[in-house]
Amino acid sequence: MSKRLNLLVFSGDYDKALAALILANGARELNMEVTIFCAFWGLLMLREENKNVSKNKSFFERMFGIFTPRGAEKLTLSRMNMGGVGKGMLKKMMQDKEKPMLKDFLDGARKKGVKFYGCKLSQEVMGFKKEEFIPELEIIEVYEYLKDASESDIQLFI
């Protein structure tokens, strides 16, 4: 039986999403089962870049969709974002050292079979529709996440 890693991603910050996806990819390389449960701002990491559904949304839900990042590469840094300059510097430094970008780690995790779960309550409160996210995302209730976390060998909150 393989080890299991469970990540709860609450942050929508580029650097924190990067850390979560580096861990997920590394764990898959070690043949660990990996689940990522995204709640509230963590859901932003899994939004499709070119999908914004506004049909059947309230005014606030439409505004939320417009003013929150779409696509992993649109996330801001948790510190030193400086209006995007800080993130640009980080990405340039990563590129100079030939390191993958956040989107590359997300694509890798998807290809390696990481299971992505989204918090149903968070998705509903924030007004996102299922079709706005990557196809691999399964929307689940919190008790389903807790069952998964309780059966995992490692649980991390990011």
What pLDDT digit, counting tens, does each position of 91-123 carry?
A: 999 999 999 999 999 999 999 999 999 999 999
What pLDDT digit, counting tens, does each position of 13-68 carry?
A: 999 999 999 999 999 999 999 999 999 999 999 999 888 777 889 898 888 888 89
Sole residue written with tokens 């559904």: 53
Q: What is the mean pLDDT of residues 77-104?
A: 92
What pLDDT digit, counting tens, does each position of 126-154 carry?
A: 999 999 999 999 999 999 999 999 999 99
Sort 22 into a burial class: Cβ within 10 Å, 0-12 / 13-18 / 19+: middle
Q: What is the pLDDT of residue 64?
A: 82
β partners of residue 38: 9, 118
What DSSP line would sit under 78-106, residue for residue?
Answer: SS--GGGHHHHHHHHHHHHTTPPPHHHHH
Element (H, E) at 59: helix 59-67
User: How far is residue 66's CA from residue 74's CA, in Å, rounded to a whole number?
Assistant: 13
Q: What is the pLDDT of residue 1?
A: 65
